[in-house]
Structure 1
Amino acid sequence: MSTLIRPPKVDPVKSNIENTLELTQLTDIDPNLFTNTRELWHPPGARGLYGGCVIAQSLAAAQRTVPKNFTGHSMHCYFVLAGSSEMPVIYHVEHVREGRSFATRTVQARQRGAIIFTTTISFVRENSGGKLKLEHSTTMPDVPDPVENIDDFRAPQGSQGPFQSQRIDIENNDSPEIHTKRIRQWIRARGKISESGGHEAHLSALAYMSDSYFVGTIARVHKVWRFTPPGKDGKPTVDADVLKKLLEMDDDDIRKLPGMDDELIKRIRERQRTGKWDQPDPRPEIGMMVSLDHTIFFHNPRDFRADEWMYTEMESPWTGDGRGLVIQRMFTRDGKLIATCVQEGMCRLKQPADSKL
């Protein structure tokens, strides 16, 4: 069973992402225990459930244990084990500190008694910085505006998922300087987040979206395969539904997808024309890619809406020894920096058959 308690009907007043992230407080057992109200999403082909679910619900649980005038400003997360979407997640919030200006919470997400995820979240009292303060911020680059009234099937759970995303062409995509490339997109929660959700709902929604294709930046900037080309029997190992969707798309739309380039588009068209794949591309292929940790610094946490378009850009300053680091900046449409995220992930290539590693 994927939830501890039978889920109630979806609340039509709340947005899709609010219903997705809804928590049930287990007050009769412990007021600091929470569990997912609805089934969590497991991306096709992934080792475990979507990490953004656990990040966002851990934040949501912690937010319910601090005063209303305290706001989350940073969270430091570690993915310990792959979570399963087929069983409930129990979130235990521990009160580490209750200060005048700052409060600290740790949250452990458990399944079958084992910790699958842990995070430490710091909250700051609103307006505690005083009237006189230092201020500066990096600026948002000039980028094409999002296009209204189109959708993107890549978003979690398909076109009816809790948020939308639109890719922008990769900046410096052909540069030999990998660290100068920028993976860019617009994102927003679907529908309108309810007033009752408060700023907490917008922060949780941002946390959910921050994990979308985050570690995948490493594969994109290195232009390596993110899914398996045809096997030795000539049959594609790409998910059949994804392949069908790719074959229906035009070239410009395919180019917006992660890991896609003109060479792959050529192979897709060959598949469409002949029903067969051509010879496999000689490029390396990802053997394993999983997130190890995830940090979010929230800037201006009460001064944005997650259901309005937000611009994000990702870069990878370093990759090596089977791991990679990615930095993400998130802006409001009018250019206000609202979050900086950092993630390290395992990124191992498939090794030759005669490799001893």
Structure 2
Amino acid sequence: MSQALQSLLDLLDLERIEQDIFRGQSRSAVVPRVFGGQVAAQALVAAGRTVPEDRHAHSLHAYFLRAGDPGAPIVYSVDRIRDGRSFTTRRVVAVQHGQPIFHLSASFQTYEEGMEHQAPMPSAPDPETLPTGAELLPRYADVFADPVIAERLLEARESVDLRYVDAPPYGTVGEIREPRSQVWFRTNGKLDGAIDEPLLHVVLATYVSDMTLLDSILLAHGRGGWAVGDVVGASLDHAMWFHRPFRADEWLLYDQESPSASGGRGLGQARIYTQDGRLAISVIQEGVVRIPRSD
């Protein structure tokens, strides 16, 4: 396991300070706020630690309320909303400086057999044929708004091997493209031993899901995003449904599209498939997407 991946696992390993209250830390961010995928993943960890081990996360719905301060701990308070015969529901509020910054509802279910069908996996190239972040980011270093952004983007993705099928938004600024984007991802190292548990794989996918979901919005308008400085954006809400078991240390295809953008907001939706074609996760997110004022 790489040191970067171990650091990410440490970041997601919350401290229990009361029965249903947990504390998490942050790590340096490129922008002066906590990465939304981190807060969502940590909140899911908090919820999962109050649920019986035989119940697995099947959905989450979340709202980002305020920008998180990366220099301060985050306190996660869990409400045990319901413990039914098949389903368990939890509500989590993340608090910093006495104010809620994030709210999550998550549902867990015992395994059962049922009807089975899925949307087919779209075509995509073999991930091993695509450039890694270390190979891709230096090609576009001259387009970033700040010379240190490329280096910090690379640092942020050392724990996750994320590979774009086509050029990322910051690679084709000014070019109008179809509002679709595909990336392959997996952790940068195997998840073996005591830490290898179903919740961990779901939590890691939740963390990665906030990295690129709004890319397809930018592609439709020839924008490069916050790293280029031609868009001001932030996640507003986030929902995920976990359909089938998967491993976060094996390749997952993140097939993303945007059906709409209006009113300073944009919608991204996606399906995540295992490499052998099983639909593992569905994702929807709305975010603020504004063009900076010139005055």
Q: Do both proteins adopt the same fold according to a TM-score greater than 0.5, normalized to the shorter chain?
A: yes
- Structure 2 Cα separation of the partners of residues 54 and 228 of structure 1: 21
Residue matched to 2:253: 311
Displacement of 1:143: 1.1
Displacement of 1:313: 1.2
Alpha carbons of structure 1 residues 323 and 342: separation in structure 2 relative to 1, 3 Å: same
What is the SS of the residue equivalent to 2:133? Answer: coil
- Structure 2 Cα separation of the partners of residues 72 and 228 of structure 1: 33
* Counterpart AA for 1:296: M
Alignment of 1:246-261 (within 5 A): none
Residue matched to 2:27: 40
- Structure 2 Cα separation of the partners of residues 202 and 73 of structure 1: 12
What is the SS of the residue equivalent to 1:211? Answer: helix
Which of 294, 297, 315 is the aligned partner of 2:241? Answer: 297
Residue matched to 2:120: 139
Gaps of 5+ in 1: 1-9, 230-237, 239-284
Which of 5, 10, 29 is the aligned partner of 1:19? Answer: 10
Alpha carbons of structure 1 residues 209 and 136: separation in structure 2 relative to 1, 3 Å: same
What is the SS of the residue equivalent to 1:207? Answer: helix
Residues 1:340 and 2:285 are matched in the alignment: no
1:330 and 1:338 in contact (8 A); partners too: yes
Alpha carbons of structure 1 residues 20 and 190: separation in structure 2 relative to 1, 3 Å: farther
Displacement of 1:157: 5.5
- Structure 1 Cα separation of the partners of residues 227 and 162 of structure 2: 24
State the Cα RMSD in Å.
Answer: 2.8
Alpha carbons of structure 1 residues 345 and 47: separation in structure 2 relative to 1, 3 Å: farther
Which is worse superposed, 193-202 or 217-226?
A: 217-226
- Structure 1 Cα separation of the partners of residues 234 and 156 of structure 2: 24
In the superposition, the TM-score normalised over structure 1's length comes to 0.70
Count of aligned pairs: 272
Displacement of 1:126: 1.6
Alignment of 1:8-87 (within 5 A): 15-26=6-17, 30-36=18-24, 38-42=25-29, 44=30, 46-87=31-72
1:152 and 1:165 in contact (8 A); partners too: yes
- Structure 2 Cα separation of the partners of residues 97 and 41 of structure 1: 36
Displacement of 1:227: 4.9
Cα deviation, 1:30-51, whole Å, max 9, x if unaligned, reads 2101111x53342x2x351111
Cα deviation, 1:124-164, whole Å, max 9, x if unaligned, reads 1122xx4xx32110111121101279631469562763211
Alignment of 1:1-357 (within 5 A): 15-26=6-17, 30-36=18-24, 38-42=25-29, 44=30, 46-127=31-112, 130=113, 133-147=114-128, 151-153=132-134, 158=155, 161-169=158-166, 181-197=179-195, 198-227=197-226, 285-286=230-231, 288-300=232-244, 303-353=245-295
Alpha carbons of structure 1 residues 156 and 296: separation in structure 2 relative to 1, 3 Å: farther
2:163 and 2:185 in contact (8 A); partners too: yes
1:15 and 1:192 in contact (8 A); partners too: no
- Structure 1 Cα separation of the partners of residues 153 and 293 of structure 2: 30
2:60 and 2:107 in contact (8 A); partners too: yes
Gaps of 5+ in 2: 138-151
- Structure 2 Cα separation of the partners of residues 157 and 25 of structure 1: 31
Identity, % of aligned positions = 32
2:2 and 2:188 in contact (8 A); partners too: no
What is the SS of the residue equivalent to 2:286? Answer: strand
1:41 and 1:53 in contact (8 A); partners too: no
Alpha carbons of structure 1 residues 324 and 311: separation in structure 2 relative to 1, 3 Å: same
1:17 and 1:190 in contact (8 A); partners too: no
* Counterpart AA for 1:124: Q
Q: Which has the larger radius of gyration?
A: 1
- Structure 1 Cα separation of the partners of residues 154 and 294 of structure 2: 34
Alpha carbons of structure 1 residues 16 and 156: separation in structure 2 relative to 1, 3 Å: farther
Cα deviation, 1:187-209, whole Å, max 9, x if unaligned, reads 01111113323111111111111
